[in-house]
């Protein structure tokens, strides 16, 4: 055999051995590589699944955070609005506080004024009380003096009334004496028994004065049968303490009477409405 051939055979054999070794190594590496590939693919899939889960969780977390951020934004807006409202309320309360302070100062001024006024009024009341006490004491002294004077006036009035009545009685007696003297001078007798006198004190007012059909002077008084008057009763006509004449009742009604005036020889005096008639003093 040719040496070259031998060399080539030996080379072929060596190459075969090397190829076999390489084949075995490749086969072993291929299996290993296949396993590694499968493992890597599974790892990649797991990584992708994990990444997907992470992305989903991240998305949820992001959505949650976004919701929280929106909620915080809303809270911030609400707090800002409340803060603005509180600032406005604070401004209003400050204005009211200033107004209240001004009102308090005004009230304090009024209280001071009222206190001064009250003190002045207290002083005035004290002065008025002293003056009223003094006036009351003076009034009591005056009342006591007036009571004494009234008693004195009453006594004097009673004495004056008695004197007036006595004066009227004397005037009537004087007129009767004149009548009797005139009757004695002419030889006539005066019959006065037909004239009656009231049995009780009478005081009435003349309400009308007129002339009768025969020219006699007639007067009407505001007393009558209710006052125990009757026809032919004789009453005296007076004006104050002055005796004017007599009236003899002609007609007597329940509350009024009419009588004829007799001046008893005295100077005729005008008889007026408002003059009085009283019972003749015995």
CATH code of the domain in which 201 resides: 2.40.37.10
Domain limits at 247? Answer: 195-279
> Is 159 part of a structural domain of the chain?
no
> In whole angstroms, what is the distance from residue 165 CA to residue 243 CA?
10
Q: Per mean pLDDT, which range of 5-14, 129-138, 188-197 is the poorest?
A: 188-197
Does the pLDDT value for residue 13 go beyond 70?
Answer: yes
- Condensed to tens digits (0 to 9), the pLDDT of residues 237-274 reads 998 888 888 999 999 999 999 999 988 877 888 899 99
> Is 117 part of a structural domain of the chain?
no
Decide: pTM greater than 0.85: no
The pLDDT confidence band at residue 193, using thresholds 50, 70 and 90, is very low
Residue 221 CB contacts under 8 Å (≥ 6 apart), including other chains: 204, 205, 206, 207, 235, 247, 256, 257, 258, 259, 277
Check residues 192 and 128 and name the one with the higher pLDDT: 128
Check residues 5 and 97 and name the one with the higher pLDDT: 97
How much is the pLDDT for 251?
Answer: 93
**Total domain count for the chain?**
1
> Is 265 part of a structural domain of the chain?
yes
- Asked whether 272 and 207 are in contact (CB, 8 A), the reply is no
> In whole angstroms, what is the distance from residue 96 CA to residue 99 CA?
5
> Is 246 part of a structural domain of the chain?
yes
> Is 54 part of a structural domain of the chain?
no
Tokens encoding 174: 């004087």
> Is 151 part of a structural domain of the chain?
no
């Amino acid at each position: 055999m040719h040496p070259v051939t031998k060399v080539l055979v030996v080379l072929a054999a060596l190459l075969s051995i090397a190829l076999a070794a390489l084949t075995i190594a490749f086969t072993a590496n291929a299996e290993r590589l296949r396993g590694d590939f499968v493992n890597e693919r599974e790892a990649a899939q797991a990584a992708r699944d994990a990444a997907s889960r992470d992305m989903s969780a991240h998305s949820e977390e992001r959505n949650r955070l976004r919701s929280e951020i929106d909620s915080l934004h809303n809270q911030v807006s609400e707090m800002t609005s409340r803060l603005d409202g509180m600032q406005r309320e604070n401004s209003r309360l400050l204005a009211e506080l200033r107004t209240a302070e001004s009102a308090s100062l005004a009230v304090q001024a009024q209280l001071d004024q009222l206190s001064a006024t009250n003190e002045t009024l207290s002083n005035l009341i004290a002065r008025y009380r002293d003056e009223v006490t003094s006036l009351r004491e003076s009034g009591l002294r005056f009342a006591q003096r007036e009571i004494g004077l009234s008693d004195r006036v009453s006594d004097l009035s009673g004495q004056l009334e008695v004197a007036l009545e006595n004066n009227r009685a004397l005037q009537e007696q004087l007129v009767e004496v004149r009548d009797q003297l005139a009757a004695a001078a002419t030889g006539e007798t005066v019959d006065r028994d037909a004239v009656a006198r009231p049995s009780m004190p009478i005081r009435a007012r003349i309400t009308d004065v007129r002339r009768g059909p025969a020219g006699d002077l007639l007067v009407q008084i505001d007393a009558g049968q209710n006052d125990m008057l009757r026809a032919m009763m004789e009453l005296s006509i007076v004006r104050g303490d002055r005796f004017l004449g007599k009236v003899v009742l002609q007609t007597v009604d329940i509350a009024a009477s009419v009588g004829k005036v007799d001046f008893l020889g005295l100077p005729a005096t005008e008889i007026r409405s408002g003059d009085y008639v009283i019972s003749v003093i015995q």
